[in-house]
Amino acid sequence: SAHLGQLLPWRQLPRLYRMVARQFGSHTLVARSFMYVPASSEKMLSKLASRRPLPDLPVLDLEDGVAFAAKAAAREGARRALTELRLPELLGGGRSVAVRVNPPAEAEQLAEEDVRCVMDSARPPDVLVLPKVESADDVAWLSGQLERHWRRPPSGPNSAVPLILMIESAAALLAMPQILDSAMSASRQRGLLHPVGCVFGSDDFCASVGVERSRDGLETRHARAQFALAARSRRLLAIDMVEIDIKDVEHLKRQCNEGRAMGFTGKQIIHPSQLEPCHAAFSPVTSRVAWAERLCEEFERHSSAGAGAFVFDGQMIDMPTVRQAQSLLAQHRALLALDEAALGGGAGGGKPA
């Protein structure tokens, strides 16, 4: 174990928080709930800011949640929600809004029109979601579209658009390490897109391997574990599969807990009733937060004294355990900031009913 006296003192906690926050999710983006909202539904868009709890990451959907005949209306609905309705401001200062475009591999013209409409805008989305990614070429295509259509802010010439990639087939899962490494390398070189997370598309994945998705999801477990490892090893958010049964809350809770145990950081949801179970499952437990705070206090004391590994609650503590505690507290702080922004920021940021 490393000598704790050689480590950063605990008074440099903000810097440590930033470091371990990157392990929880790039750009400290929080997405316990990754909630799809059809951008063609003005009613659903208008209700979004008044819901409690708020989704961590609302996703204005231009893809699967929208009928082909309504694609143009959805595109305009997303643009209007961002610019005229000022949805991000209504949701509160700490909350991002994403847009899921159509997949270029299947509907290139639709995808290009999506990107042009939402990015050549006074208020582009905070995050882009690219579905059905099969290779690094799909990400390169999106980067090329941004070069053509993104109305880049003059105040941030080096800024990049956070990107969430959807992995939805067996071939894509096998190629996932190469896809992510290529996207992250391109981000460092050109800076138009910055990968921050990945989404596991279970239904399309099952179709790609010729199996039916069962209620207990047995056929997805190996793939989900492999997916989570690929994402988390690169410090990306890992968003778990959607649950279409919106009435069985206990089943949803079990599924959330299983996903968290695999390393997932959040879950796709399709209904407001799924928000609270997801937030509870993917938030640090109060008792563990208290444990982490006490452990870090002990770490500060021993580090200041130049001591090495120490005993805490009957356990020998070394640096890996300290990092776990720091990561948990960073996650807890990010979630608190998000909740406080919702309560105090924006026109829609009143207290929950």
CA–CA separation, 250 and 242 (whole Å): 15
User: Is 168 assigned to a binding site?
Assistant: yes
Based on the number of CB atoms within 10 Å of its own CB, is 86 exposed (0-12), middle (13-18) or buried (19 or more)?
middle
User: Is 108 assigned to a binding site?
Assistant: no
Supply angle C-alpha 239, 35, 274, rounded to 5: 90
Bridge-based pairing state of the strands 98-100 and 33-38:
unpaired
CA–CA separation, 138 and 67 (whole Å): 23
Supply angle C-alpha 310, 316, 321, rounded to 5: 95
CA–CA separation, 115 and 106 (whole Å): 15
Q: Phi and psi of 338, rounded to 5°?
A: -65, -45
CA–CA separation, 338 and 122 (whole Å): 24
User: Is 232 assigned to a binding site?
Assistant: no
Q: Give catalytic residue positions.
A: 318
> What one-character-per-residue DSSP string does 8-58 give?
PPGGGHHHHHHHHHHHH-GGG---SEEEEEETT-HHHHHHHTT-SSPPSEE
Annotated binding site: 100, 168, 204
Annotated binding site for Mg(2+): 168, 204
Annotated binding site for substrate: 100, 168
